[in-house]
Amino acid sequence: MSTGAGLPATSSGVSQVIASLLREVPDFPEPGIQFKDLTPVLADPRGLADVSAAIAEIARGADLVAGVDARGFLLGGAVALELGIGVLAVRKGGKLPPPVLSQSYSLEYGTATLEVPAEGIELAGRSIVVIDDVLATGGTLAATNQLLTAAGAQVTGAVVMLELAALGGRSFLEPLSVTSLYTV
């Protein structure tokens, strides 16, 4: 078990909290997959508090945090409140009214699109930390980084609760700094 680079001194405690609350579901969503369910971590008051505090420490200095659809919204909101800054919801395609900025990317079985509002939130020149629940193959975080960078933002890093290291997503994101609170 590793926790990734750049974590605060209490990172081993956060890793232990995540490990103790993580639910493993065999053969979901298909046979042979060992699904890692993080919802018990978020539903536990200590789990949510510890994860939010650890991510806030990493994101300190950002102008805005960007939470990726959907669990990234929960974490992003909690972190933004802790830091006294705003949160940007990076939505799945088709969920926001126009105009939007969008970025499509490849999935294992097709493509997906992420969107942010094109009006009403000034992103140009802002320092943003991206927050998501899981880093697997890296496609979602890479698309989020591309989307925000194209909007003129400076993405200073990404933070995830869980990294599935065997899938190699971190290498796909270089040179973006990525911090994982818990790695399997």
- For 79-121, how does the pLDDT look when each residue is reduced to its tens digit (9 = 90+)? 999 999 999 999 999 999 999 999 999 887 789 999 999 999 9
The rounded percent of the chain whose pLDDT value lies above 90 is 90
Question: Which residue is it, tokens 């200073």?
Answer: 156
Q: What is the 3-state secondary structure (H, E, C) of 10-29?
A: CHHHHHHHHHHHCEEEECCC
What is the structure's pLDDT at 134?
Answer: 96
Task: Supply the residues annotated as catalytic.
Answer: 71, 108
Distances (CA, A) of 151 to 101, 110, 119, 126, 128: 8, 25, 11, 10, 11
What is the structure's pLDDT at 107?
Answer: 80
What is the structure's pLDDT at 3?
Answer: 37
DSSP β-ladder status, 100-107 and 64-68: unpaired
Considering the domain 11-183 in this protein, what is its CATH number? 3.40.50.2020
The string over 13-43, giving b where at least 16 C-beta atoms fall within 10 Å of a residue's C-beta and e elsewhere, is ebbebbeebbeeeeeeeeeeeeebebeebbe
- For 132-154, how does the pLDDT look when each residue is reduced to its tens digit (9 = 90+)? 999 999 999 999 999 999 999 99
Average pLDDT, the chain: 93
- For 15-28, how does the pLDDT look when each residue is reduced to its tens digit (9 = 90+)? 999 999 999 999 99
| Residue 173 pLDDT exceeds 90 | yes
Range in 30-34, 44-48, 64-68, 90-94 with the lowest mean pLDDT: 30-34
Contact 132, 173 (CB under 8 A): no
- Distance (Å, whole) CA 120 – CA 45: 33
Tokens read off for 11: 């990172």
What is the mean predicted confidence (pLDDT) over 159-170? 96
Domains of the chain by residue range? 11-183
| Residue 5 pLDDT exceeds 80 | no
Please tell me the total number of residues recorded for the chain in this structure. 184
What is the structure's pLDDT at 8?
Answer: 46
The pTM score is: 0.92
